[in-house]
Amino acid sequence: MINIQDLIRPTIKALKPYSSARDEFQGNSGDMVFLDANENPFENGVNRYPDPQQRTVKSLLSKIKDIPQQKILLGNGSDEVLDLIFRAFCEPNRDNIITLPPTYGMYSVLANINAIEIKSVQLDENFEPKVDEILKIADSNSKLLFLCSPNNPTGNSFKAKSIERLINGFNGIIVIDEAYIDFSKEESWASRLNEFPNLVVTQTLSKAYGMAGIRLGICYASEEIISVLNRIKPPYNVNELTQQKAISQLEQSELTQRQVSDILKERDALIGKLGTVNFISKIYPSDANFVLVKVDDATKRYNQLIEKGIVIRNRTTQPGCENCLRFTVGTSEENEKLIKTLLLISKS
């Protein structure tokens, strides 16, 4: 049985966290007089510090996702959440993490910022994890294993059996990045936190929920792990405007559901039409709101699209993604323009 306490950095274990004014008194009763935080008393909507524990946002997420509030931590985008996980578990110049390229670039950037070695095991030809190789490469300083599922930029979800074998076989923290889970046919691993004490699941409001601009990332984990991350997070890491906007959007979750199902219909229509473009040789299956394709010459096609006013992502330098382009699914008008332009440039 894995012991989370043994994985935490000694400095973090010993840390006495900053205690903010709103930590020491959590009143929300309207008739209290607040003279404790050196705020400007004149009301303008944001003159007070925000709730450091974002309780209203968490209670809505808790209902929507069916996870207890004590197992939720929120951050300034999932990028902040990932950084907190590094700082909690990875000792600079000693520990290492495992990533599975081609994948989201932030894991290795954060490792580099934090002076953590990166071990990587490339996904196989179907973009699935090589489970035995991953478990073999792990050593006693391997603290984090990042699984992005659905994976960016490939678009596929990993097989549940492989993920389960990795969680059971790895002696560190498994971070499953579910930025695209709301588009996926698979169930979130957050529903299985009770089975796996070393599991951390991250999600975001940046993709399906349509709020990339407010920067709100979500972490689901055991209460033990959440309490460690709470000790090191900046006290007011999610600002008041972000909390208010998140609350108003989460209260209309049917809107998000409708948009997600529209995007998925658009994605499938887009995939159908991409098949008619002669320089596209492969369309990878997608469980997300983007599609990866292989073309004859990715950089040439990328530049041609830019010239016609369409910005996509050239992924050709990623391992296993030679000559691959990634298209985000847009509105039906945008997707039509993309297809028309692809057909146009295919003749030049």
Ligand X SMILES: *Cc1c(COP(=O)(O)O)cnc(C)c1O
Q: Write out the two tokens for 29.
A: 């009763």
Interaction of residue 83 with ligand X, rule CB under 6 A: no
Distance of CA 250 to the CA centre of its chain: 18
Interaction of residue 78 with ligand X, rule CB under 6 A: yes
Query: 152 or 249: whose CB is closer to ligand X?
Result: 152
Interaction of residue 217 with ligand X, rule CB under 6 A: yes
Interaction of residue 266 with ligand X, rule CB under 6 A: no
Q: Which of 67, 167, 179, 199 binds ligand X (CB under 6 A)?
A: 179
Q: Which of 8, 9, 50, 79 binds ligand X (CB under 6 A)?
A: 79
Query: 173 or 277: whose CB is closer to ligand X?
Result: 173
Query: 77 or 129: whose CB is closer to ligand X?
Result: 77
Query: 104 or 284: whose CB is closer to ligand X?
Result: 104
Q: Write out the two tokens for 235.
A: 């006290």
- Phi, then psi, of 174 in degrees rounded to 5: -95, 120
Choose the stretch contacting ligand X; rule: CB under 6 A; options: 33-41, 77-85, 167-175, 296-304: 77-85
Residue 45 burial (10 A CB sphere; 0-12, 13-18, 19+): exposed
For the sheet with 96-99, list strands across it.
72-75, 217-220, 199-204, 173-177, 142-148, 96-99, 117-120
Query: 113 or 344: whose CB is closer to ligand X?
Result: 113
Which of 327, 290, 298, 313 has the alpha carbon at shortest distance from 156?
Answer: 290
State the nearest-atom distance from the C-beta of 216 to ligand X, in Å.
7
Number of residues that bind ligand X (CB under 6 A): 13
Interaction of residue 189 with ligand X, rule CB under 6 A: no
Distance of CA 61 to the CA centre of its chain: 16
Interaction of residue 212 with ligand X, rule CB under 6 A: yes
Query: 288 or 342: whose CB is closer to ligand X?
Result: 288
Q: Which of 8, 57, 123, 148 binds ligand X (CB under 6 A)?
A: 148
Residues 158-177 that bind ligand X (CB under 6 A): 177
Interaction of residue 206 with ligand X, rule CB under 6 A: yes
Interaction of residue 15 with ligand X, rule CB under 6 A: no
Query: 88 or 100: whose CB is closer to ligand X?
Result: 100
Q: Write out the two tokens for 137.
A: 């490469």
Query: 47 or 317: whose CB is closer to ligand X?
Result: 317
Q: Write out the two tokens for 280.
A: 């596209």
Residues 88-107 that bind ligand X (CB under 6 A): 104
State the nearest-atom distance from the C-beta of 300 to ligand X, in Å.
26
State the nearest-atom distance from the C-beta of 50 to ligand X, in Å.
18
Contact footprint for ligand X (CB under 6 A): 77-79, 104, 148, 152, 177, 179, 204, 206-207, 212, 217
